[in-house]
Amino acid sequence: MQSCFTNIVWLLYFLCITFSGYLSGKGCTNLVAGFSSFTRQTREIIITDAVRRIRRDGYPVEKHNVQTKDGYILTLHRIPYLHPIQKTVLRRPVVFLLAGIYASSDAWLLNGQENSLPYLLSKSGFDVWLGNNRGNIYCRRNIWYNTTDREFWDFSWHEMSVYDMPATIEYIIKKTGEPKMHFVGISQGGTVFLVLNSMLPQYNAVFKTATLLAPVAYVSNTKGSLAKVFGPILGTRNYISKLLEGVEMVSTNKIVKQFLSMACLENERPSVCVSRLWPAVGYDTEHLNKTLLPDIMANFPVGGSFKQIMHYFQGYVSTKFRQYDYGPEKNWLMYQQLEPPEYCMELVTVPITIYYAENDYIVSVEDIWKLMLRLRSLHAIYKLPWKRWNHFDFICGLGVREFIFDKIVKSLITYEYN
C-alpha cells in the first residue's frame, strides 16, 4: 500500500517539476512537504554536491567557473593529481569527462571511491576534469538572463557543443598548460563531442582520444517510449513545441532531489523503486546496481531545457542527425536553407572508441552502426556481451568497472606511456 501510494505521489510530483516553467517552485515544495511523512530514508545521500562527495571519498577537489561567449557561467570540478609528499598539483595528462542529458558531474561519482571512473583515472596518474552543461544544477547563471526568463532556457545540445565545449576546453588548456586532452562522454556527452568537432573541426586537434559510451546521434530506431509517444508532437513544428522552447524541463530544487531519493524506501523492493526510472532506462534493469538507486534518484535529473529533448525528438521524426529545426522561414534566416543542415561526421578526425549494447533502450544497434559508418576515425568498437545491458548501466551497471572503466583506464595509460 505504501509503495503504491509513493508511486502515485512521485507521478504527481514528476508532472509538477516537469512543468516547473509554468508552476511555482513553492507549489512543488509544498507537495513534498505534505507527503514526506510517508517516506523515510536513513542512508546519507549527497545531493548534487560534487565537492563534498569527492572529499568524502578521499580525493582532492577544485571547483572552477567558466563563462561562455553567450553569457552562461559553467562550473567544472577537477580532481588534480597531487605530489604524494608536498601535496602540490603536478602536471599530468588531462582527461575531460562529460555526462548525459539532465545529468551532472555527480553522475560519474555514484559508484563510490573504488569503482567510479574519475577516481580510477586519478589513481592512475591523470588530471581529471568533470564538465557540466548549461541548465543543470551547477550552471544556472547567465550574465544577461535570469532562470525565470524564457531566453535562458532557449538552448539545446547544439549550443552546448558550440559554446560550452570551446569555453571549457580553452579554460582547461590554459589552467593546466596541457595543449591536448582525452575525452570520455556518455549519452548526450557523446552528442556534444560529435557536434563540436563537426561544427568547429579545429578542435579535433585538441583531443588525443575520445571514448564514447552509448553516444546519441541518430535516434530513428530508438526503443524509448518517450520518443514514440511525444516524438511526433514535440519533434515537429507546432504551437506546443514552440511554446516549450523557452521552458525548463525539470526542477533542480534540492528539496525535489531529497524527495526523489526518499522515494526509494528502505523496506521497499528494488524492483518497485527502479520502476520510477523506466521512462529513462527502459524495462530491463537486470544489471543496474540497485544499491545506488537512492543516489541515482537524488542526482538525476538535475536540470535542463525542453529544447534538449525536443532536438532528439526531431531526429527521431526526420531520421537525421542535424541542427535544430525552426521551421522553413526561420531555417532560411538561420541556415540559408529551408531544412536544417546535417552534422558532417566525416569532419570528426579524433580517434574514437565506442561502447554500445544490444538492449540499449535509448540508442539502438541500428543507429550506432549508422553513426559508425560515417566516422572515419574509429579506433575500436566494444559491444557489451549481456543481452539486457541498458542505457543507465553504462554508468551504474553491475560490473561496469571491470567491463568498461578498467578498459578505458588501460587504454589511456597505453596511449600515454607505451
83 is catalytic: no
Does residue 417 sit in helix, strand or coil? helix
What phi-psi label fits residue 30: left (phi over 0), alpha (psi between -120 and 50 degrees) or beta? Answer: alpha
DSSP 153: G
Cell numbers at 286, concatenated = 537486470
Residue with cell 535529473: 301
* Farthest CA pair distance, the chain: 63
> Which residue in 187, 261, 305, 364 is the catalytic one?
187
Q: Return the amino acid letter for 267.
A: N
Is the separation of the CB atoms in 354 and 381 below 8 Å?
yes
363's grid cell: 540508442
- Give yes or no: 251 in active site: no
Cα–Cα distance list, 407 to 120, 253, 354, 395 (Å): 11, 36, 12, 14
Residue 128 is inside which H or E element, if any?
Answer: strand 127-130
Distances (CA, A) of 397 to 185, 260, 298, 409: 16, 20, 17, 17
User: Which of these is catalytic: 77, 182, 311, 391?
Assistant: 391
Task: Give the CA radius of gyration of the chain.
Answer: 20
For CA atoms 197, 250, 361, 128, give the dihedral sign. Answer: positive
Please list the active-site residues.
187, 391
